[in-house]
Structure 1
Amino acid sequence: MPEQPHILATLKEYFGYDSFRPLQQEIIDSIFAGNDNLVIMPTGGGKSICYQLPALLLPGITLVISPLIALMKDQVDGLQANGIKAAFVNSSQTENEQHSIYQNLIDKQIKLLYVAPESLSFLDTILSQIEVSLIAVDEAHCISAWGHDFRPAYTQLGYLKNKFPNTPLIALTATADKATRQDICDQLNISNATQHLASFDRKNLSLEVRPGNKRIEQILNFLDNKPNDSGIIYCLSRKATETLAEKLRNQGYNAEAYHAGVVHEKRAKVQEDFINDSIQIVCATIAFGMGIDKSNVRWVIHYNLPKNIEGYYQEIGRAGRDGLPSSTLLFHSYADVVQLQKFADMSGNKEVQLAKLDRMKQYAESLSCRRKILLSYFGELIEKDCGNCDVCLDPPTFIDGTIIAQKALSTVTRIKEQEPIGTVIDVLRGAQNAAVYDKGYQQLRTYGIGNDISWRDWQQYIIQLINQGYLEIAFHLNNKLRLTERSKKVLFNNEKVSLSHLKEFEKIKATHVEQSKKTKSNTLFDNLRELRLKLAKEAGIPAYQIFNDATLKEMEQHKPTTDEEFLQISGVGKQKMQNYGYQFIKTIIDYSAQKTKKKPQNKGNTHKETLALYKEGLSIEEIAIQRKLAASTIFSHIMKLYNEGEDIDLNMFVQKQDIKAIQQAKEELNHPDGLKPYYEYFEGAIDYNTIKLALAILKKGTSNT
């Protein structure tokens, strides 16, 4: 087993972190001890590092089973950005591309190989020729029919433990109840695996549930305070995603729809644009977002009630993966319950689906701390209310609802328990429609006795009566409302009923003073984010793979101005320091200069000071020491001076063989745009700064080669 200092040094060098999150060290130690492991860790909890870090220190390759092409690409791009040799094999590649990867595997040029379960059979010959040190099965809940996202292709994975009996296997998922956990271990043939159950408490996520009336209007009000933040809106139907995206676009938001009916090319573009911050909002069915490590999703809305708590928890977990405060909002309505009930009726495991839907419904209609309900579902109990959900922030008040209950229960009795909730409310409110008149319900004594209460409020009161066991829905009988044993106590024994006052559904949400969407903010964080987006487009990678929002926030707070200070920022590793350090330090210094109201000419003078010292023959490091600036900042001065036509010899900063190699790559790649094609061509052996220098030299034809 590697020594602790070496493990921590690897964590900092490649991932930019000084310490592990809860359970990560324990899981990694267990892998090095040769144990099989099952890891249940919430989205954003750091599952990937649990196998990616050991992969760097183990002698052979780490084989990662992953369910989606987009997930593989996202993970591999992120690893390569950190200077880690990784690749994936799936159906999106040509035969030549795959053979090249196979050769790299044999030549020990790859540490992590991502593969879809369907492609495993094609790798048997290659896997027999190389050393497999670790097997990771990501999104492991897909193997279980008890799970919320069962995928038949996963059921073949049990053979891996038979083929590699001495190789530790780690199965990872964000959501699995007790039955699903055992099923995962049994099917993967790791029944004795060490189980690691992390806390499911994502404290940075606020939880809010609202009734599903006027949803579009509510969403627009919600977005008023989030003009520049990325978010996802999950819908039950394809039509809803299209309609909602169009309405948002009409209001000036950059929104697109994503569902299985959209052609593959467009779906891929929507996902890529969202990852790259080119699209702000995606209105999607549940197919969107699985495993996508976009860390700066600031909010998630559920336009409809999800079908189970596992799926809901995983979907809200796509917000705030960087640990910064993020919002979640769930709309629910009786119509959603009916629709999901129909879906469950058509499923292969109807009873399980219905039971899980019932739990989801109870969560949405709860009048107690929502986080407690979520955590208890996964077997985690907390004593105190969370203080970060709508119920905790605005506790309901209760009223004496006995008369309301008596009116509702009496009406259900008089219509002989033959109608669903909508018709019951119509009778209570004295509606004059066919549903009432065709059956003579206008003759009932209870007709119109509840016309002082709105239709929607009656709906909420009746749902509370259902939750408290005074009524029940007969789903198998067209959702008719039925009386229960408890009903008699209210109707005949004067039992008192407490109902939540519905004022919380009417309250106008406090509006925070925010900048208008048209007002351009000028914080250091915004400047850093703009720089990140520019660099990401230049390198052809998602913005968050350069640095996530949490790292930018830490830069904003500490304002590092030297290489050493910059490396202390969480999320800054060796490779990213080399590739991007000087640009971010320069932005921080420039911003600080503006805030201290330095005169405009100072910016020009600082470059002239660097130029004067350069002409004296000082190196970049010597200039940095004399000027008490970061070497990366001096480097940025040199590049700026060169681009402005000053007599700067860039050849002294880049080796001749690197210029030759980049010139050859330029010709072979047919003069590509951006830096990423070169970076990938050299498989990370030549960093971005060297590539920039060499291309600048080649462009002006000043090479001494």
Structure 2
Amino acid sequence: MTDPVSVLHSTFGFPAFRGVQESVVSRVLAGERTLAVMPTGAGKSLCYQLPAVMLEGTCVVVSPLIALMHDQLRAAEAVGIRAATLTSVDENRAETRGRFLDGELDLLYVAPERASGSDFRDLLERGKLSLFAIDEAHCVSEWGHDFRPDYRLLRPLLDRFPDVPRLALTATADTHTRADILDQLGIPKDGLIVAGFDRPNIRYAISAKDNTTRQIADLIAEQPGPGIVYAQTRAATEKLAEALAKTGRPTRAYHAGLEPPIRAKNQADFVASEDMVIVATVAFGMGIDKPDVRFVAHAGLPKSIEAYYQETGRAGRDGDPAVAHLFWGAEDFAKARQRMNEVETARQPGERARLSALGALVETAGCRRKLLLAHFGDDAPDNCGNCDNCLNPPAATDATTVAQKFLSAVFRTGQSFGVGYIESILTGQSSERSLMNGHEALSVFGIVDGAEEAALIKPVARALLLKDALRANDFGGLEFGPAAKALLKGEAELSLIVPPKRERRRRGSAGGGANPIGDPLFEALRDKRRELAQEGKVPPYVIFHDSVLRDMAAMKPGSLSALGTISGVGERKLEAYGDAFLQVIREAA
């Protein structure tokens, strides 16, 4: 077949292309060089898988992580694509080389380290190539947030085969990074296709930390389905996983310090699960192509807007409702500023800009999505209708006076004490410590009057740390930052966002749930999917996504031909699983 739409339907089960997929596929089939910037969940892999089926030869896919390659391999084989991986953990490497040389592979997945080697280049010269696909292409750029030096070594390989089209794919690249990718991979400027960055099915929410473990436990209670919780250290990962396991949900930890077999098992258990929570460092995620993640929580500040976008983008890849909730503390910004001093001078302006962008995101009273998309150059309406601020607008209060009182107390006590002690001075709480230091004689002792002002002290301290009006020293005491002077002199104001009172939601209400109307047929189809997945030793989503099962439950097809009209049911899956699901539908009638 030479018609891409026919192949799209017969192989992948989709009636039509989505977004810019058709434009990207058309360029590839025409032999053009292309960089496609597409949001996670927009179907990037289809942009090289479909041409790989149509073109003569093998498409070589460069991918950064072995786990990601194996996930993509399972998905490709499930729709009948002839695919293989050539990695250090594969025991069938000789067989894979033979299949490539015999022209029996549509897709060959390799890591950049192998792709840039002379042995691999020699292998490719003995076979026939249809396409080079460079996944996670932002890794080639030093401006990107996941720079991988081995990606920089790919250009000689690509140039060795100048007539083979090349397709670079990424979900996260700002204007500067895009230009660098084009340059590094030899793609012309007119080969850039940007699909936009919006993920409308993700509900963004951001909260100040207030017992983070309890906050995340509440989120888990509301959210059925698999979820990822990002913690900032290995120790925090294990501690949080242990605490969250008490919620009753299956929970695992993941970080680079775990023994490889344990780490691999925890990842495999999560990929196969329909309700597991995995608590991980940022080492986890890029290698996961799991479409049914229903929530991503951050138990601390990500390192940049780009990292935040990519990490939250692991939720809702199947298009169903999902939640991304970030919990931040002023100490996160203080630590980030301390780390900034450790990077080379030339990189510090860029790091400051990244931190400033994060600060704007967490403290805005406006639409989170609008601010997030604006960072990548996308326009968005003032109200997205699917972030915490748009769904439940916060109030703002002028906290300048309380901020001045707090800064005065920090100064008059010698810039040596933490938030708790300063609060006790401001509210006039006598203690041995305040008596011994002579601080009860200060003009700031008891200067905060009334419960309303007292309630603002901790949020004000957090805001002052965020704005760099205050900094924490090595001993936990507070000292002035560069923004303190303007506030004290009345040359700047501090407006404080007061979040609305949070109402506890019932389980499953926040993200819509897999079965929002409680259809028993849908649950029966899910049970059958689970049974088939266990038999085939693949994750349930490889068989069918929840959306496909919902369509089956709604349409109740009575024949294989009727089942084949449902989006996501291609010929291979219809042949492999059709009868089993039709039997479930007949039994429920």
TM-score by length of 2: 0.90
Q: What does the per-residue CA deviation read over 1:595-653, in whole Å, with 9 as the maximum and x for residues that have no partner?
A: xxxxxxxxxxxxxxxxxxxxxxxxxxxxxxxxxxxxxxxxxxxxxxxxxxxxxxxxxxx
Contact preservation (8 Å) 2:470, 2:484: no
Could you say what the CA RMSD is over the residues aligned between the two structures, in angstroms?
2.8
In structure 1, what is the Cα distance between the partners aligned to 2:559 and 2:325?
41
Instruction: Give runs of aligned pairs for residues 68-467 of structure 1, distance below 5 A.
Output: 68-94=65-91, 97-120=92-115, 121=117, 122-192=119-189, 194-226=191-223, 228-277=224-273, 280-347=276-343, 349-412=347-410, 414-415=412-413, 424-430=422-428, 440-450=438-448, 452=451, 457-464=456-463
By how many angstroms is 1:361 displaced?
2.5
Contact preservation (8 Å) 1:140, 1:184: yes
Tell me the residue number matched to 1:481.
480
Identity of aligned residues (%): 38
Q: What does the per-residue CA deviation read over 1:333-359, in whole Å, with 9 as the maximum and x for residues that have no partner?
A: 112223333444444544423321221
Distance 1:590-1:186 versus aligned 2 partners, 3 A rule: same
By how many angstroms is 1:272 displaced?
1.0
Q: Which has the larger radius of gyration?
A: 1
Contact preservation (8 Å) 1:204, 1:320: yes
Q: Secondary structure in 2 aligned to 1:154?
A: helix
By how many angstroms is 1:465 displaced?
5.6
> One-letter code of the match for 1:490?
G
By how many angstroms is 1:313 displaced?
0.9
Q: Which moved more, 1:68-77 or 1:119-128?
A: 119-128
> One-letter code of the match for 2:112?
P
In structure 2, what is the Cα distance between the partners aligned to 1:590 and 1:18?
28
Distance 1:23-1:405 versus aligned 2 partners, 3 A rule: same
Stretches of structure 1 that go unaligned for 5 or more consecutive residues are 594-705
Q: Secondary structure in 1 aligned to 2:164?
A: coil
Q: Secondary structure in 2 aligned to 1:507?
A: coil
> One-letter code of the match for 2:487?
S
Distance 1:108-1:459 versus aligned 2 partners, 3 A rule: same
By how many angstroms is 1:251 displaced?
3.0
> One-letter code of the match for 1:552?
L
Distance 1:590-1:457 versus aligned 2 partners, 3 A rule: farther
By how many angstroms is 1:404 displaced?
2.5
Distance 1:327-1:503 versus aligned 2 partners, 3 A rule: closer
In structure 2, what is the Cα distance between the partners aligned to 1:54 and 1:142?
24
Contact preservation (8 Å) 1:418, 1:481: no
- How many aligned residue pairs are there? 575
Distance 1:291-1:513 versus aligned 2 partners, 3 A rule: closer
Tell me the residue number matched to 2:45.
48
In structure 2, what is the Cα distance between the partners aligned to 1:266 and 1:364?
35
By how many angstroms is 1:86 displaced?
0.6
Structure with higher RCO (Cα < 8 A, 6+ apart)? 2
Distance 1:66-1:569 versus aligned 2 partners, 3 A rule: same
In structure 2, what is the Cα distance between the partners aligned to 1:251 and 1:217?
10
Q: Secondary structure in 2 aligned to 1:183?
A: helix
In structure 2, what is the Cα distance between the partners aligned to 1:15 and 1:435?
70
Is 1:18 matched with 2:27? no
> One-letter code of the match for 1:331?
F
Instruction: Give runs of aligned pairs for residues 297-696 of structure 1, distance below 5 A.
Output: 297-347=293-343, 349-412=347-410, 414-415=412-413, 424-430=422-428, 440-450=438-448, 452=451, 457-464=456-463, 472-473=469-470, 480-482=479-481, 483-484=483-484, 486-487=486-487, 490=490, 498-500=495-497, 502=498, 504=500, 506-511=501-506, 523-591=520-588, 593=589
> One-letter code of the match for 2:21?
Q
In structure 2, what is the Cα distance between the partners aligned to 1:68 and 1:434?
57
Tell me the residue number matched to 1:33.
30
> One-letter code of the match for 1:149?
D
Contact preservation (8 Å) 1:423, 1:435: no
Contact preservation (8 Å) 2:78, 2:542: yes
Q: What does the per-residue CA deviation read over 1:404-425, in whole Å, with 9 as the maximum and x for residues that have no partner?
A: 2442344355457676766644
Q: Secondary structure in 1 aligned to 2:469?
A: strand
By how many angstroms is 1:479 displaced?
6.5
TM-score by length of 1: 0.76
Q: What does the per-residue CA deviation read over 1:381-418, in whole Å, with 9 as the maximum and x for residues that have no partner?
A: 11331111111111122334353244234435545767
